[in-house]
Amino acid sequence: MEINLNRVDYIQVGVTSQKTMRLLPALGKKATQKVAVADHDGILTCFGMKKGEAVPVFKTLPGQKIARMDLGGAAGTPQEKIFVCSGSQVRGFTKKGKQFLTFEANLTESINAMHVSGADLFVCASYIYNHYCDCKDQNYYLSGDKINDIICLSSENGTCLVPVLACQDRVLRVLQGSELAYDIEVPGPPSVLELYDKDGGEELICGTTDGNIGLVQIGECSAATKWEIDNDKKKGGILCIDTYDIMGDGVNDILVGRDDGTVEVYGFDSANEPTLRFEHVLSESVTSIQGGCVGKESYDEVLTATYTGWVTGLTTEPQKAEAGPGDEVRMSKEIQSKVEALRAELEQLQVKVKQGREQYQQTSQSSTAVSAVPVFSINDKFTLCQDDASYNLTLEVQTAIDNLLLQSDVPIDLLDVDKNSAVVSFSECDSEQPNGNFLLATYRCQANTTRLELKVRSIEGQYGTLQAYITPRLQPKTCQVRQYQIKPLSLHQRTHSIDQERPMNRLSLVGQFSFAEIHSWVVFCLPEVPEKTPAGESITFYFHNTFLGTQLEATYCKGEGHFKSDNISTISILSDVLSKEATKKKINLNNSYDINDESVSHTLKMIHPKLEYQLLLARKVQLIDALKELQVHEGNADFLIPEYRNILDESANLLEEYKKQPAHLERLYGMITDLFIDKFKFKGQNVKTKVSSLLEILDNYDLNSLLDFFNEA
């Protein structure tokens, strides 16, 4: 069962945040709904569609950036009051645009997530959760990591609300009053929560920044995952979810918007498993998604808002092109008038802009005037991709990007991304020390590129900063720099637990340092650690290496730190960096090691299947061309041994696989070499001279001879 939805653009507002567009409830049956959308200029716009034209109901004055929007109203009445939060303030508007509430939450940080239910207001600002009832403080909770979203379930009797927080450390926290009831582990950092059934129930849908969706049933003291949709196709992270019966089959479908512009509709098959029914790609992040009826009566649609403020509908209404030939030439009257209005507006604007430009030029004659161009908004994301152990950098700007300069003071590889059409050019880096550049690359973008995707591969142990200078096509021309830390253990990712059975190496630190100090060092070394010093006396974090699958346990408190890993290189890097950081603060560290020789062979055995697979793949790929030639020469492949015939049959898949992981083998070799050097470093031997014989062994790889070499050398 497939559906066909056609795209219609309604209006454009300013840059929007996640979940800032909602549909107001319909007044009568089958009437069109009004849309409320809020943007970074602080403007809340409410509009409805009349004869294909957006007619504003009201528009507020500009102000501080609006981060979230929610609808509310007294229980039992239509939820048509609009609540928006900007800074630490929450404001309420009626559907006519009358402001009836201004509430100052008195938080030091700005609110980034909000939920309204009857007289209850729930707000979250980075680590803090606050619950107000009738604007009176009720409950308070401090989370261990950043809170991305909040939703409330109403318990069975409907009297008590159960708030659920989506926290950056891959956990959903279910609260009871001011206390944590229990937490739920999810596979990736959750970014959005939505109720599965808007009328209540205990099920909620959770989307993660790495693109997974799951349905979780929240029970009294535990939760169960009903289903999950994996992100096999490497689409973007989830930004918004809604449930709506767009297919018209009586079951609510799931509407999903992602940060790479993908809009998806999932329906349910006979086995009640979610299946993809529709997909459409907009060119920019989809920040809000809603199902309803906006453009024309009795035609349902999926309404989306994107980062640059486009409100776009994907409607079930058939497009005119299909009505019949001949209609297309003459633009419909509505559109014609729309175009004319736009053109007129453009002309006026151009005059204004010209004046502005002249004035700006004039100021350049004055010796006292300054030129200060307002900061433009950039939506950026720098995340570790688990599957190929590389970083994805996405940059999104409100207007077209002209060029991008990437600069790094640490050796990294820039990989080609198919989606990215910009022309890349690498500039020579003067290796002389003063400038210390390891990478200088420019991306010259094609017209109308508002979103850029890059892939960067780092090497563990080498750390520094990656800087991106973004210049949009906007006069007067400015560029903005964004910095991204490449951490020493850049390929590690937080996980919930580790396998304690593996042979482990230990590093213990003792010294005169505070809990906050050692926490800041750990933040410096490892990704995905909250910057705030955790509450309590001590803390334990678990990590796993996305490339090798090795693990790390970090436990520390005031004056003491213990790190356990089955990978000796991880321990070596940690010890180097931590000592260096401590020396910077003039703190004397007492390092002690407990090296388990078993761990090296264990790690090598873990690498073995990967290495063997890669070697085999490389060999097969090498043979493909020759075999194909033989096949052409002989006319068929029947004379070949089955193994070769198999390679020929599989050739397309093999090549695909090979293309997906460039330099995989070299990376594995590099890590084995590190392992080798580090093993003997802890024994106080320098074995750099033997690396060439190690590489020789790797060239004729055999696990046993490699193990022997590690043991003998």
Partner 1 sequence: MLVPIFTLKLNHKINPRMVTVGKFDGVHPCLTAATQAGKVFIHNPHARGQKPVAHRLSQSTQDSDISLLNINQAVTCLTAGTLGPNTTGDTLLVGSQTNLLAYDVHDNADIFYREVTDGANAIVLGKLGDIPNPLAIIGGNCALQGFDFEGNDHFWTVTGDNVRSLVLCDFTGDGKNELLVGSEDFDIRVFKEDELVSEMTENETVTSLCHMHDSRFGYALANGTVGVYDRTARYWRIKSKNHAMSIHAFDLNADGVVELITGWSNGKIDARSDRTGEVIFKDNFSSSVAGVVEGDYRLDGQNQLICTSIEGEVRGYLPASKDLKGNLMDSSAEQDLIRELSQRRQNLLLELRNYEENAKGVSETNSGMGVIPANTQLQTALSVRPATEAQKAHVELSISTPNETIIRAVLIFAEGIFEGESHVVHPSAQNLSGCVRVPIVPPKDIPVDLHIKAFVGGKTSTQFHVFEITRQLPRFSMYDITVDSSAAPPTGRVTFSINDRPQRVAMWLNQNFLLPEGVDSPDITMNSLRGGGLLSISMASSGQITLTTDDIDLAGDLVQSLASFMAIEDLSAEADFPGYFEELRTTLTEVDEFHSVHQKLTAAMADHSNYIRNMLVQAEDARLMGEMTTMKKRYRELYDLNRDLVNEYKIRSNNHNALLACLKSVNQAIQRAGRLRVGKPKSQVISACRDAIKSNNVNALFRIMRAGAASS
Q: Which stretch binds partner 1 (CB under 8 A): 6-14, 216-224, 550-558, 579-587?
A: 6-14
Q: Could you check whether the bond before residue 476 is cis, i.e. omega within 30 degrees of 0?
A: yes
Least CB distance to partner 1 at residue 347 (A): 10
Return the residue matching tokens 């007294």.
74
Nearer to partner 1, 297 or 625 (CB): 625
Of the ranges 88-96, 296-304, 423-431, 665-673, which one interacts with partner 1 (CB under 8 A)? 423-431
Query: In the complex, what is the shortest distance from the CB of residue 376 to partner 1, in angstroms, rounded to a whole number?
Result: 8
The interface mask with partner 1, positions 619-638, x = CB under 8 A, is ------x--xx--xxxxx--
- State phi, psi for 624 to the nearest 5 degrees: -55, -50
Q: Is 323 exposed, middle or buried (0-12, 13-18, 19+ CB in 10 A)?
A: exposed
CB atoms within 10 A of CB 695: 12
Neighbours of 332 (CB within 10 A): 12
Query: Minimal distance in Å, beta carbon 202 to partner 1?
Result: 42
Spell out, one character per residue from 481 to 510, where the chain touches partner 1: x when CB under 8 A holds, - when not. Answer: xx----------------------------
Shortest distance, position 309 Cβ to partner 1, whole Å? 8
User: Residue 668: phi, psi to the nearest 5?
Assistant: -65, -45
Interface mask (CB under 8 A) for partner 1, residues 434-463, using x and -?
A: xxxx--xxx-x---x---------------
Per CB under 8 A, the list member of 140, 185, 197, 426 interacting with partner 1 is 426
Q: Which of residues 167-186 bind partner 1 (CB under 8 A)?
A: none
- Stretch binding partner 1 (CB under 8 A), from 21-29, 139-147, 480-488, 494-502: 480-488
Determine the Cα–Cα distance for residues 287 and 9; give it in Å rounded to an integer. 15
Residue whose entry in the numeric block shows the structure tokens 């709506």: 244
Q: For residues 475 and 705, which CB has a smaller minimum distance to partner 1 in the complex?
A: 475
Q: Which residues pair with 328 in a beta bridge?
A: none
Using CA atoms, how far apart are residues 518 and 511, in angstroms rounded to an integer? Answer: 10
Q: Which of 198, 333, 477, 688 binds partner 1 (CB under 8 A)?
A: 477
Characterise 461 by phi-psi region: left (phi > 0), alpha (psi -120 to 50), beta (else). Answer: left
User: Shortest approach of partner 1 to residue 481 CB, angstroms?
Assistant: 5
Position 428 contacts partner 1 (CB under 8 A): yes
The Cα–Cα gap between 215 and 663 comes to 37
**Residue 23: CB minimum distance to partner 1, A:** 22
Query: Rounded to the nearest 5°, which phi and psi values hold at 323?
Result: -65, -40
Q: Which 8-state DSSP code applies to residue 247?
A: S
Q: Phi/psi of residue 50, each to 5°?
A: -130, 115
CA 24 to CA 69: how far, in whole Å?
12
The distance of closest approach from Cβ of residue 517 to partner 1 in the complex, given in angstroms and rounded to an integer, is: 25
Q: Which residue in 465, 460, 463, 428 sits closest to 571, CA to CA?
A: 460
Residues 332-391 that bind partner 1 (CB under 8 A): 332, 335, 338-339, 342-343, 345-346, 349-350, 352-353, 356-357, 359-360, 363-367, 369-376
CB of 333 to partner 1, least distance (A): 12
Return the HEC string of 126-165: CCEEEEEECCEEEEEEECCCCEEEEEEEECCCCCCEEEEE
Shortest Å distance, C-beta 526 to partner 1: 25
Q: How many chain residues are in contact with partner 1, going by CB under 8 A?
A: 88
Shortest distance in whole angstroms from residue 448 CB to partner 1: 8
Closer to partner 1 by Cβ: residue 128 or 429: 429
Q: Which of 217, 383, 462, 471 binds partner 1 (CB under 8 A)?
A: 471
Residues 4, 9, 119, 323: which binds partner 1 (CB under 8 A)?
9
- Judged by CB under 8 A, the residue of 416, 499, 643, 699 near partner 1 is 416
Pairing of strands 203-208, 190-195: antiparallel
What phi and psi, each to the nearest 5 degrees, are found at residue 566?
Answer: -85, -5
Amino acid (one-letter) located at 83: F
Q: Is 325 in the site for partner 1 (CB under 8 A)?
A: yes
Task: Give, as ranges, the residues between 269 and 308 that touch partner 1 (CB under 8 A).
Answer: 308
Long-range contacts, 154-158 (Cβ 8 Å, 24+): 154/117, 154/200, 158/200
